[in-house]
Amino acid sequence: MSNNITLLGKTFVPYIKNEDLMKDIDAVADKINKDFASAEDIPIILCVLKGALMFTSEILRRLDFLCELQTIRLQSYDGDHSTGVCQQILGLNTNIKGRRVIIVEDIVDTGNSMEYLMGHLKELGAEDVKICSMLFKPSVFKKDFKIDYVARSIPPAFIVGFGLDYNEMGRQFKDIYVAND
């Protein structure tokens, strides 16, 4: 794993090695494959941009069933903290009425974004919505729905790498780093 990194004056230290993350992704993809093994429909894999791009790519490589990839872009962070307000920056460009959707997200903490997105997808007529998150912060999650597929649970911490950013910086690192403050 690489040494510390500095982004916009903030230092981050190694946290999760890429090899460990790949094992977590293997395990969560196996669960999804088992749940969708007998699917006669073609579920939609909905990548939440930009953070989930790398995770979605790895999940897709491991899926054994036919699926359709779509993207959506939400924004609820300003720098290193959640604003508590979710905005849709880039919307869906396909009809999801009567379709099953698996939302693929980089990290779920408060759950505000997922609550917003699930409601939006149900309004658009999705038959079923599942959530797959690379990382999950259960200690700050206070919502009434479950995260169906979690690659790894972590404590509350500010992290970057493998798609996660700090003001758009740091997404490219293959490992995940945690703020050192």
The region that residue 149 occupies, defined by phi over 0 for left and psi between -120 and 50 for alpha, beta otherwise, is: beta
- Residue that wins the pLDDT comparison between 180 and 79: 180
- Residue that wins the pLDDT comparison between 78 and 38: 38
Residue pair 101/129 in contact (Cβ under 8 Å)? The answer is: yes
For residues 123-134, average pLDDT: 96
Closest Cα to residue 105, out of 53, 35, 171? 53
CATH topology of domain 19-157: Rossmann fold (3.40.50)
Split at pLDDT 50, 70, 90, the class of 124 is very high
Can you state the angle between helices 18-36 and 53-62, rounded to 10 degrees? 50
Catalytic residue list contains 144? no
Residue of 20, 30, 41, 109 with catalytic role: 109
- Chain segment 73-106, per-residue pLDDT in tens: 876 655 555 556 555 545 677 899 999 999 999 9
Segments making up each domain of the chain, as ranges = 19-157
Closest Cα to residue 45, out of 103, 99, 94? 103
- Residue that wins the pLDDT comparison between 175 and 1: 175
Closest Cα to residue 26, out of 152, 172, 137? 152
pLDDT of 153 reads 97
Whole-model pTM? 0.90
Closest Cα to residue 88, out of 46, 126, 49? 49
